Amino acid sequence: MMNAAERETAIAAMHGAVHRFYLDAIGIGHHPFIEFAGVMTAYVKSCERVHRYGVDFSQCNRHTGRPLPIADFELYYLAEKLGCIFDGRIRAAAS
């Protein structure tokens, strides 16, 4: 579990990690690999959004049984990214 200050720190660190990954992926030059930066960015933005409402995103995953609240627009974006990476074989769906 993370308190609000720890979540703020984690979000900043996550943004930094995604940025570094993106720069490395651009250097590699393989488009589907670069798309993972978009998936990670969407995840971080979801965490930021729910954090503003006091949700401890660090506890939102399948293992805890507490799903991360994701807006429809985020699912559409993730579906597009996963479609590019995996040629439509993995799909994001609203539950």
pLDDT digits (tens, 9 = 90+) for 36-75: 999 999 999 999 999 999 999 999 999 999 999 998 899 9
Residue 51 belongs to what domain range?
4-86
92 assigned to some structural domain: no
95 assigned to some structural domain: no
DSSP 61: B
pLDDT value of position 44: 98
Total domains present in the chain: 1
β-sheet bridge partners, residue 66: 61
pTM for the whole thing? Answer: 0.91
Interval 72-88 mean pLDDT = 91
